[in-house]
Chains A and B, each alone.
Chain A
Amino acid sequence: MYASIRWIARRDAPLAAEALLRFDPAEFIPALKTRLLILQPTPFCNLRCDYCYLPHRDDKARMSLDTVRASVRRLAEAGLLGDSLTVVWHAGEPLAVPPDFYEAAIAACTEAAGPQCELSHSIQTNAVLIDDAWCRLFKRHRIRVGVSVDGPAAMHDLHRRTRNGHGTHGRVLSGMAKLRDHGIEFHAIAVVTADTLPHARDFARFFVEQGVREVGCNFDEAEGLHGESSLGGAEERHEAFLAELMACASDDASPLRVREFIYAAHLIGEGLPRYQWRGEALPFNAQVVPFALVNVAWNGDCGTFSPELLGQPSGAFDFTLGNVHRDALLACASRPGFRRLWSAIARGTRTCEGGCSHFDYCGGGAPVNKWYENGDLASGETLYCRSMVKRPFDLVLRAMEEKAGVVPAQAVA
C-alpha cells in the first residue's frame, strides 16, 4: 500500500530575503479570479466583544454606493471577475447600516458585475438587530446569513457584551428566533476561548437545540487589538475539546455539522486544489494568493490576502494597497508596497512548505496570524495553524483510520 511513498526534494532556491516579487497575473494557472469580495459597509459595531480585533469600531462612517460600484468595477477591469463571486458584508456590524442600503448596494453590485458573473451575498452578524425588515431583505436577495454566537449564555456573555458591559445572549436568541420564524436557514460561527474548552457537550447541545445545523469554531486568535489568545497555554485542553465535539457531531442522532471536521474530511477525501505559479504546482490557499480575496474598507481603501490585515497599523508594511476610487488593482500590484508585502507572504509560504508536515492540506497558513503571533509574515507555524487546521485534520484522520482498520504508517525504509 505504501509502495508509492517517495521523498520530495527540498526546493533548492528559496526566495532570498531581499528579492521583491513582480506580480503578473498571467503567471497563474488557472487564471487568477477573485472568489470573495469582502466589503465593509461600516467600521462601526454596536457591541464591544473583548476579543475583537477591529480598529475604528466606534466610527459610524458608511460605505457609499459609489464605493460599492467602484469595488466591483475594479475587479472587472482587472480581469479578476470569474463566472461567480461571493460578496461578504463584514468587518464591523453590517446590520448597523439600514436594510435600504443593501437594497441599493446589491443592485449596484449586480449592475457593475454585469450578466456574466453570478453574484451571491453573505452577511455575518451579531444578530441583535435582526427584525422582520431584515428577514425580508435576506429572503428577497437570498442572502446567506451567519450568526456570531458563542454557545450557551454562560460562554457567550463572558465575552460578547454591549458597550455598557451587559451580556447579549438573550438578544441574539431573539434574532435567531426571528430568522427561524421567517424560515431562514443560517449557520453560526462561535469564538471558542479557553473558557469554552471544558464544555464541549453543552456547546454542541446549544446549537442543536437552537436548530443550528452548521457551526464553525473560530478558535480564539491573537489579532489586531486583541493581542493574546486565551488558547496559548491550553493546547492539550483544546485537543480534548475537539475530540469531545467530534464525538457529539458523530452521534447519529445529532444534526450538527462542524465546519472544521467537514473541512478536514473534504481535505482527506479530495485533497486541496493546486494552482500553477511560475511552473510550480502549489496547494491553493486564498490567503496567500494575490487577489483571490479582495477586501474593501468603507472609504474604498483596499487590500488582499488575509482580510483582517486591512486597516491594521503596521510600521513595516502597508496593508492598504490603494483605494478603489483612485487606483486600478493591477496598478496597486506594481507598487513597491504590494511587492514587499507579497514577497514576505510568499517567503512565509516557503517557510511552511519547508517546515510543516501539513503543507499539502493547507498551502501556507494565515498571514494575519503569522504577523500577530510571530511578528513576521515570512514565518511558519502559528497557534492558528495548530488549532484550526492541524489538530482537526489529525483527529478526523485518526478516526477514519480506526474505522477503516488501517494501521497508520510509522516509518519509511
Chain B
Amino acid sequence: MPQSLRARVSFGLRRFLSLLGLLAAAAAPVQASVPTDVEHQRVLLQARVAAVRDAMLVQQNLRADDPARSDRLAQWFNWPNWMNWNNWNNWANWGNWFNR
C-alpha cells in the first residue's frame, strides 16, 4: 500500500474511533450522584478499620489520640515482637525503594 494511502486510512480509522468514543460517552448514563462500587468498597474498608481501632481503644482503655496507639494495637494483637518498633519512620519513608 502506498505510504500516503496507509496514512489516510490510519487517519480515517482514528477519527472514526474517536467519534465512536464521543458517542459512547454521550450515551452513557450520568452517574455522578450514584455511589460506585469502588466508593462503596472504600467506605466499607474505612468502617472496618474504624471498628478495629474502636475495639482496641475500648479494650485497652486508650484515647483515640494516644500517640502510642499503633504500638498498643500491635501489643493488643498479641504480636509482642512488634513492640519497640523504632524504625517505623525509616521504613515508612523508604517504602519499597530498596530493591534487589
A contact residues vs B (CB 8 Å cutoff): 1-2, 4-10, 12, 35-36, 38, 49, 51-54, 86, 88, 90, 122, 124, 144, 146, 148, 187, 189, 191, 214, 216, 218, 221, 223, 249-250, 252, 254-257, 259, 262-263, 265-266, 268-271, 286-287, 293, 307-308, 354-361, 366, 384, 388, 397, 399-401, 403-406, 408-412
Contact = CB atoms under 8 A, between A and B. Distances in A.
Closest 9 interchain pairs by CB?
A: A269-B70, A357-B41, A404-B55, A124-B98, A269-B73, A409-B47, A406-B51, A400-B52, A357-B42
Given A249-B81, A252-B80, A36 B99 contact: no
A252 B78 contact: yes
Interface stretch (B3-11, B20-28, B86-94): B86-94
Interface of B: 32, 35-36, 38-56, 59, 69-74, 76-82, 85, 87-88, 90-100
| Centre residue among B38, B79, B88 by max chain A CB count within 10 A | B79
A189 B77 contact: no
Contact of B82 (A262, A268, A293, A355): A262
Q: Is the interface of A mostly helix, strand, loop or mixed?
A: mixed
Contacts of A51: 100
A265 B53 CA distance: 11
B38 A216 contact: no
B90 to A, nearest CB: 7
19 contacts: A5-B43, A9-B32, A122-B90, A250-B79, A262-B74, A265-B74, A354-B36, A354-B38, A357-B44, A359-B42, A360-B45, A388-B96, A401-B48, A401-B51, A403-B77, A403-B78, A404-B55, A405-B55, A408-B44
Contacts of B47: 1-2, 5, 409, 412
B70 A270 contact: yes
B82 A404 contact: no
A271 B43 CA distance: 14
Given A36-B94, A287-B95, A404-B51, 9 more contacts: A4-B50, A218-B100, A250-B79, A262-B91, A270-B69, A357-B45, A403-B76, A403-B78, A410-B44
B91 A86 contact: no
Contacts of A257: 81-82, 85
Contacts of B51: 1-2, 401, 404, 406, 408-409
A234 to B, nearest CB: 19
Contact of A256 (B48, B81, B88): B81
Contact of B52 (A7, A354, A406): A406
A150 to B, nearest CB: 10
A397 B46 CA distance: 11
B51 to A, nearest CB: 5
A357 B95 CA distance: 20
A286 B95 contact: yes
Contact of B99 (A53, A265, A397): A53
Contact of B53 (A6, A269, A366, A410): A269
Nearest to B70: A269
B38 A356 contact: yes
B95 to A, nearest CB: 7
B13 to A, nearest CB: 20
A88 B94 CA distance: 9
